[in-house]
Amino acid sequence: MSATIDADETDSRFMAEAIALSRTHLGLTGSNPSVGTLIVRDDGDGPRVVGRGVTAIGGRPHAETQALAEAGDLARGATAYVTLEPCAHHGRTPPCAEALVAAGVARVVGAASDPDSRVSGKGYAILRAAGISVTEGVMSAEARYVIAGYLTRSLKKRPQVILKLAVSSDGMIGRRGAGQVAITGREAREEVQHMRAEADVIAVGVGTVIADDPQLTCRLPGLEHRSPIRLIVDSRLRTPLSSVVVRTARTTPTWIATCEADPSRHAPYVGAGCRIVATDIWSGRVALPELLEDLAAQGLSVVLLEGGAELASAFLSEGLVDRIALFTGPDTIGEGGVAAPLTHLHSGQLQTVGGAASSGVKVSVIGNWSADTPTPSASPTPLPRFPGERNGAAPLEGALPRPPGGGEVPSEARGSGGEQRVTPTPDPSPQGGGGGKVEALAPPSPLRGGAGGGGEAVQKLETRGTENTLLPFTFTRTTRFGPDRYVEFERNED
């Protein structure tokens, strides 16, 4: 029988440390998930950590065996905290579940279960059969959040896709002909660098390469080696040979996914150190589902989708985006701006306008503001990225910025939850403004669990073509990086 229970304070504290430890090797463990393990012993003077382990770079050895090796004889009678169910199958090394048994641990506390059919339930069964006490599901949501790439690859046979967007307060991602335009501040840009360090692949469209000539590397001091594979989606092979991503392909991997089959066209890129990824064709373009399947087959688990409204819209229309990471800066771009493929509307909704499958998506900008919606109580707890480092994002407190002076909410922002209006009230947000709180008339807005009450916030991603289409995304958390807002949405599970 499963022993899934509410974690007590001690279990939560040590599991949170194990999860933070697991993040340190995200993007570095090949096809294996980055797992954290702690061996904790209590000889009567309080629990203490006697062994730590994280999946090694390249994927071997596993976290459990490293933690047990560090603990040595102190592992006997101790408790092991593991962020993922210990493996149960024989490969190049014996199963980690058997290693825990052999070490004589008395108790195992697990977070996430492993969906791999070779492991699922079998790792815990080995432990129980040996008389070890097993507690499952401690901080499971937090652990699954960290290894979502591995879980997605295991269940869907493709990598997790995180769509990252930096959007100005008037809903733009850049300015035509201006190259790269700074939309967010230093703190937000550093967070993006952390996201790159934890990903396996950064993907952009060829239009972004032509317009911006980006580096697409991790530029945090000391983490430059964490730069992931740079994937250019380029159906007609238009990537300039003079671009940074081509010229630096021998130091940071550059892959080009293309429908172009002529080897003579490939040769200059291959000579520069790029890898050509031959792709299936769909409507004259790169077939994205098949491309993701090919990446997963090579053990790649997380794709950070960074560049271009057109490519973002294509992934959204194919239902291939798992998480949306939306950064909103305080400034406007104005005339000549490139519209984002989606925007954050009143009550936290996301909306794309003009049909997600079309090129040149147009966005109806409602404004840079949101309802008084608390972060759901079930949302993942932000964790330190690396040992000893504090998370740079402070939870938002109070309301987010409203249209100056309050006033009525534009009709486009009301959604399907009934009419809503703004009534003037002091704005507690740091950015000030005339304020206003959102007051729902009958029927209520689709937000459950009011201010202070926690609960689930049901948000919507909407595409507009001939008919509106609601996409299954749910708001999970919101934080602030300096003057910029960060809002995150997760695709609902089927």
Residues acting as catalytic residues: 64
Q: How far is CA 406 from CA 250, 306, 376, 425, 436, in A?
A: 54, 34, 25, 8, 5
Cβ-based neighbour number of residue 217 at 10 Å:
20
- Give strand pairing partners of 490: 323, 474
Token pair listed for 39? 């061996």
Q: How far apart are CA 120 and CA 124, in angstroms?
A: 8
Nearest residue to 399 (alpha-carbon basis) of 433, 420, 439, 429: 429
Nearest residue to 100 (alpha-carbon basis) of 49, 149, 62: 62
Q: How far is CA 397 from CA 10, 251, 330, 331, 369, in A?
A: 28, 43, 17, 21, 14
Token pair listed for 163? 């769509």
Q: How far apart are CA 311 and CA 285, in angstroms?
A: 11
Q: How far apart are CA 145 and CA 166, in angstroms?
A: 22
Dihedral Cα 341, 343, 349, 352, nearest 10 deg: -30
Q: How far apart are CA 319 and CA 327, in angstroms?
A: 21
DSSP states of 43-86: SSS-EEEEEEEEPPTTS-S-HHHHHHHHHGGGGTT-EEEEEEPP
434: amino acid identity, one letter: G
